[in-house]
A and B are shown apart, each in its own frame.
Chain A
Amino acid sequence: MSIYPQQQAYSQPPFPHAYLPQPPSYALPSSSVYPVDPATFRSDYTARLAGLTDNSRLIIQGLSMYAHDFSRWGDVVTQCIEAHIRRVPPEIKLPAFYLIDALSKNVFDPYAGHFASIVVPLFLETYQHVDQQTRGKMEEMLLTWRTGSPNGRELFGVGPQVAIERGIWPSNPAHGSSHSVNAFVSKSQVLSELEFTLRQKERSLQNNPYDPVAQNHISILSQLRRLVEAGVSQEELAQILAQLRTLVRPTPTNAAPQPSIPKYTNAVSYPPSFTYHQTVVPAGASLPHAQYSQHHGLIYPNPAQQFQTSDGSRSSAMNAVVPSTAPPAISNISGLFEALVKAGVVSATSTSPGAGSTAQVQDDIQNQPRYVQGLSESKVEDTRAYRKALLAEDVKFSSAEISRHRPNIVHFLYDRMPVQCKQCGLRFSDTALGKKAMQEHLDMHFRQNRKASQSVGRGHSRTWFLGVEDWIHDMPYSSSDKDAGPSSRLSNTKAIAIAESAKRDAELRARFVVVPSGDEAKHVTCPICKEVFKSEFNEDDEEWIWRNALKIDDKIYHATCHAEALATSGSLTARLRQGFASSRSGTPDAPSLRATPPRLGKAESLPATSKTGVKRKVEGDIDSHSGSPPLKKVILASA
């Protein structure tokens, strides 16, 4: 902050304490601000996870996209989610499982691997605590995991899958020997499996809306569901279950070696839930390896392709798979169904109720990639449409006209925006833009609600008003303003400037010099502050290093001291600091850098990792990993 002295005076509020109770909200960085180290990422991800309190597809998508972008810190994500599930009350655990589900299926590598190690106890413990309805949902999800991996096998591997299934259906025979029908079969279990198969069918119908076979399946399955709900004999249950399983199970052979999971790098835009499109593989067919890889070659590398063909004609990839599955399936289902019809239990004509709504959802999902890029465009369109509709209103601004005319106000206040926030009554349009605005709006509520739950018993007080300069330059909430809290709205430019300088400082501090071998015991002091460098062991590179250090002309300086000294010595500062910032990638011998006076030595740069327990020279000055907001510090410092 030393390079922004003028900011300090400017940003000082009438009372420094005025804003303390409300931490400036960029403690939760928006997605545009990329965290630089795992610790920041961890706190950020944890904070975002806290927003997952209901089954919101948008939030789950957001979280999984974010995790996808940072899959290099997949272990952090995994830990965060695990901690989240263990911490939150039972009624909101399920959405986090959906997140696990989405991440594992869509991103798969590395997440499925990460989750595989924790999923069994997590699932079983959660299952113990949740209510019956949630259990049903969890069972449903569990069934999708049987074939959830990109190669159609168990999402988390056979071991975890079996362990979970045994845990929740103790009477259920071992996974893999699904044809044994002797054991007791519960109605709920059959229902969940039935439900699952039905969904699968509906999805495949979505891919191919004109497929009469699939339509037929769906109608039969939904009849079956009604039948089972109404109650059938134990024998029939077992029969239905067995049939269903043969229908769903891709590879029942345990003997077949687990094919190595292809590392499909998902470079294309994130396709939400594309795994749902992978379809049923013929029952009983043990696919050879070659076919597996062919599979992947066909389907996975470019899932987006599938989406582009939404007009009913399928991509060749889908063609290749789906039809092959159909024949055995239809014989199974209709065989079963016929038996039931003969017994007089079901009627032969029925329609499926759920298909339409599922199709709708699916349609939304397909629109996602377009949705993101089209947002700014749609904003303009939205504004234009509003303007057009409004200007078409014939309102004359005169006393007589105003009392006489019947305005079309209901359209503008209500009908245009059919979605209402349940908490404050604000309305949003149901366009992509409106949905985004709504999501941001709900995030705002969530933060407030969380604050309310955290601050029970803590005293609140009226805040002081802003000074006139701050008030004039305090920009109001805009639709893109994610941190819609009054405290966060101190001048944005200031906040950005401060954040930037903090970032630069963090970068300076991350610089280090490798201690020359033999010098470990030497007392080396910084020529500027005269403090002794403390060497520390860098575990990554297995070297002793001096942190926050620069080597210039064979002298070791504190990077921060050096930069400060430069700052006071002239206008080079900004340029140099920028230079440091851009040299983050760390090319030690860049001649251009050396040429810049004063010469920079061989100094490598670490990303600003936060090694807890490693004492830094300027520790406490800026605490990059604790997420302590820089602005607050400035306010404190200027107090």
Chain B
Amino acid sequence: MSASDPGSLNAKEWVLDPETEYRFELDPGNSLAVKVLKGHAEVFGAELADGKYYLFGHECKAAIFTWQGCTVEMRTPSTEYVSDETPMHAYANVHLALEKMRVRALSSHRGSPLPPGPDQEIDPEPPRVLVLGPENSGKTTVCKILTNYATRAGQGWTPMYVNTDPSEGGWTVPGTISAVPVTAPLGTASPANPLGSAATSAPTILRSNALLPLAYWYGHPEIKRNPLLMDRLIRNLGENVMERLDGNPQGRAAGIIVDTPSTFASSPSSTSTTTDHRQNLIRACVDAFRINVILVVGHEKLNVEMQRMYSNRMTVVKIPKSGGVVELDVQYRQRVHAQQLHTYFYGQVIAPPRGLSTTAVGDADFDVHLAPSSSVIPFGELSFLRIGEKSMAPTSALPIGATRTVNEMQPIPLDPASPGSGLLNAIVALLSPPVHLEEAERYDEEVLDLPVSGFLAVTSIDVPTRKLTILSPSPGTFAGRTAVIGSFEWSEP
């Protein structure tokens, strides 16, 4: 560090021993700049380029791991410590095991003979992995590391990352389940886009910031709100993912990695009905993505349960949980949701820490300003729906013998003029137009099977003039389109 550098005052060098990780947590409004000075380092499986500043912001909590040791320069984290107890060996072993499945599957597809080995007789299938675990066990991190390692193998793998956790925005916004083929390591910069970012028209250094996901709108952060809808969406997603992979042998060989919500693993008050939903949803995932490997992150009971249910059909492996996982509270998750929605429309800017100029960082990925488009449309141009009732008690809570007046899967039209529509400040998902335009092929619940084109925010409703103001990510016309409301709200800060 040269003396002339004004930032050298608050820059700190850390020498990390091999196989240790530097963990940090950021307070709101704080940001961290990291530069690798010597050796190699990675953040959740994505290697950091030598000598380049990486910024982390928006209360990011992450870890910089090194296999061979390194020296890194840090600027102003809030909480930091180095740990030499990481589960990385186990994760690396899992990665190698998955890689073996991939090369075997590809060889078998190409008809090239496999070298003789002990597990010769096993029908080579690409890995299709379901990652289960309780809350704060680092499921998403495991998925990310495994995905990143696959893209780094230099074999052109494009693993399919599937996110079935609607409380986690992934590369879109919260409330969705989605799948994306990953071609390059997913970076980590902010909890608003923990898995890279959906494509924008802005230039990007990391390809993982230009992802093209297929997304379905569930609309709520919690699974228990509408498990039937969740089940259906998972199966829809699976069907399309499988269809895509069938047309692409290389992509197929790279396999699928499915991240799941923590409620799949356990629920605090474990009643028989929630267990049913849980198991049904796990089964939906297993069926939809033809899962052949289940990884259980640090949960003995769940591991035993999965072993009992699935070990006759597939590999069920328990993997250790990282000690670096941070317990997250509800407020934090809500802040992240708001940040994700803001990032979706406006992009995200991570200001470099004090003492470091923007030009020193000079990376388009940390400075993405997006210009959404605001348009005024008449009522009726865009039709709004809600799936099921607004506040719906679980079926189990209904009096015995009673049936619902409104089915959980029934699309209910909303009138923007009615005060109870809940549209103001709501985030709605603009569905993509139906593929079949023939009237005969249409059906009532079609909207449940349509993926999302994008997300809109209803920023104002003018009842006297019967006009709505809509914020959309890009300009477009909405005539004849359908948007579905959920329970997420967002307003301009």
Contact = CB atoms under 8 A, between A and B. Distances in A.
A421 B247 contact: no
A530 interface: no
Interface string A428-452: 1100001000000000110011011
Interface in A467-507: 467-469, 471-479, 484-487, 489
B413 interface: no
B320 interface: yes
Contacts of A395: 93, 96-97, 100
Given A387-B103, A401-B93, A473-B247, A465 B213 contact: yes
A468 B451 contact: yes
A407 interface: yes
A559 B369 CA distance: 48
Contact of A424 (B202, B206, B248): B206
B318 interface: yes
B280 interface: no
Given A426-B185, A462-B345, A468 B474 contact: no
A458 to B, nearest CB: 9
A582 B315 CA distance: 57
A393 B49 CA distance: 28
B22 to A, nearest CB: 17
B111 interface: no
A413 interface: yes
Given A409-B67, A420-B49, A424-B206, A403 B90 contact: yes
Given A459-B371, A466-B214, A386 B451 contact: no
Interface string A575-592: 000000000000000000
B201 interface: yes
B154 A434 contact: yes
A413 B68 CA distance: 11
Interface in B51-71: 51-52, 67-68
Contacts of A425: 46-50, 52, 185
Given A461-B371, A461-B474, A462-B345, A409 B183 contact: no
A427 B152 contact: yes
Interface string A14-42: 11011001100000000000000000000
B107 A476 contact: no
B373 A461 contact: yes
Contacts of B154: 386, 416-417, 427-429, 434
B156 A399 contact: no
B406 interface: no
B93 A405 contact: yes
Interface in B15-68: 40, 46-52, 67-68
A478 B183 CA distance: 8
B479 to A, nearest CB: 11
Contacts of B103: 383, 386-387, 390-391
Contacts of B206: 424
Contacts of B454: 14, 462, 464-465
A87 interface: no
Interface string A387-415: 11011010111110111011101101110
Contacts, number: 238
A426 B240 contact: no
A420 B50 contact: yes
Interface residues of A, number: 74
B320 A403 contact: yes
A405 B68 CA distance: 17
A188 interface: no
Interface in B190-238: 198-207, 210-215
A422 B50 contact: yes
B79 interface: no
Given A427-B154, A477-B158, A407 B93 contact: yes
B212 A474 contact: yes
A423 interface: yes
Contacts of A429: 154
Given A14-B453, A422-B51, A407 B46 contact: no
A402 B370 CA distance: 44
Nearest to A485: B210
B158 A399 contact: no
Contact of B156 (A21, A393, A455, A478): A478
Contact of B451 (A448, A467, A486): A467
Interface string B450-493: 11111000000000000000000111110000000000000000
B243 interface: yes
Given A461-B200, A465-B432, A484-B207, A471 B244 contact: yes
B49 A476 contact: no
B184 A426 contact: yes
Given A390-B96, A452-B364, A485-B210, A413 B67 contact: yes
Interface in B91-113: 92-97, 99-100, 103-104, 106-107
B115 interface: yes
Residue from the set B90, B370, B432 with the largest chain A CB neighbour count within 10 Å:
B432
Contacts of B453: 14-15, 464-465, 467
Nearest to A472: B244
Contact of B318 (A17, A399, A423, A428): A399
Residue from the set A413, A421, A434, A474 with the largest chain B CB neighbour count within 10 Å:
A413
Contacts of B93: 395, 401-402, 405, 407
A477 B207 contact: yes
Contacts of B240: 468, 471-472
A427 B474 contact: no
A425 B115 CA distance: 33
B401 interface: no
B347 interface: yes
A442 to B, nearest CB: 12
A424 B205 CA distance: 7
Contacts of A15: 453, 474-477
B474 A17 contact: yes
B49 A424 contact: yes
B155 interface: yes
B149 interface: yes
Contacts of A383: 103, 106, 155
A5 to B, nearest CB: 15
Nearest to A470: B212
Given A413-B152, A464-B476, A465-B215, A390 B99 contact: yes
A465 to B, nearest CB: 6
Interface string B239-282: 01001100110110000000000000000000000000000000
Contacts of A462: 198-200, 344-345, 347, 370, 372, 454, 473-474
Interface in A180-237: none
B130 interface: no
B212 A465 contact: yes
Contacts of B106: 383
Interface of B: 40, 46-52, 67-68, 89-90, 92-97, 99-100, 103-104, 106-107, 114-115, 117, 149, 152-156, 158, 181, 183-185, 198-207, 210-215, 240, 243-244, 247-248, 250-251, 293, 303, 315, 317-320, 344-345, 347, 364, 368-373, 432-433, 435, 450-454, 473-477
17 contacts: A393-B100, A402-B90, A402-B97, A413-B149, A417-B154, A420-B47, A421-B49, A422-B49, A424-B49, A424-B206, A460-B201, A462-B345, A464-B473, A465-B215, A469-B435, A472-B247, A484-B183
* Among all A-B residue pairs, the 6 with the closest Cβ atoms: A21-B201, A462-B473, A459-B371, A425-B49, A460-B202, A15-B476
Given A426-B152, A464-B453, 17 more contacts: A386-B154, A387-B107, A387-B115, A393-B100, A397-B317, A409-B95, A409-B96, A410-B68, A423-B205, A425-B48, A455-B202, A465-B214, A468-B240, A471-B214, A471-B244, A478-B156, A486-B199
